[in-house]
Structure 1
């Protein structure tokens, strides 16, 4: 499962749990208020429901915390993948930069020897360092006495690279680790003995 999809799914679960926990909390307050005036059998019934509600709230809270922890783990994984992609792209950019530097120096060397180089290569040298370009051209003029070579462009075979968005790489990476089992808040509430019927009985 992709990290983005897992995050969305577990965040939806957290929202559902918040809603159910809010309803259970409201019922807990109602019971606490009712217990102040209750006696006898009513008090026993309300005490049992209060205990069930406490167990239900705790179970919902525990599962929600498990989901929070997993979403935080997914966020760390996303950051790791995004940072790895960013570092990879920076490494490639540095490699390209030094390759271009070597080509610029080769163009300067050829110009200094008086050789003929493509105007696109001369332009790249001029963009890199105008003073180096002027110096190479001047030295080349002095070397024109000898036989001149004509060179092909050093940049002709290169295509501009397209890089992926590191955030997209991180979001689309496969989620690692064991995901907590998804249980609906209703299942958790039922497992503690709490059900919606208790609300209507009192």
Structure 2
């Protein structure tokens, strides 16, 4: 009788965990749809931050679900928990990769357009550099491989951002009040990924 009560309690706890994971999963989908439809830069940044927060929360819950002892659960609950972890981990990775690649495309486009047009948004290179490192690191946390096309895009973005950094380095206006060391150029090793032509992320 005691064993039956213990299993029932464990099942309720596992079911609550499953429900919590799926709630965040549905919120992820809504935020992802909102991000795809948003055009305002500030709105997109806010949605991206919220999306990253939800991804972290879901990652923590999925990791917790993987530690639940299956011996304490009914077989049907074990299957439901395993299926939920498998589906949500895959979806979480897809959304996270999609968000990172999309943001890196935006950074690439901004740096490339400014470089080609000859305009110089003074000091903007520092923001682009930080954002580039942030999202490449986020990308690497989910995948060590990229397609050749994605690697080429990252390399082009790196070159364009470095060109803007060089512009800022030569600005007498910036040097007139900055005592810090010049902004460091991005190193090529930052975008050193293994090649996997099957890597595909729709953006």
TM-score (norm 2): 0.33
TM-score by length of 1: 0.33
Structure number with the bigger relative contact order (C-alpha 8 A, sep ≥ 6) is: 1
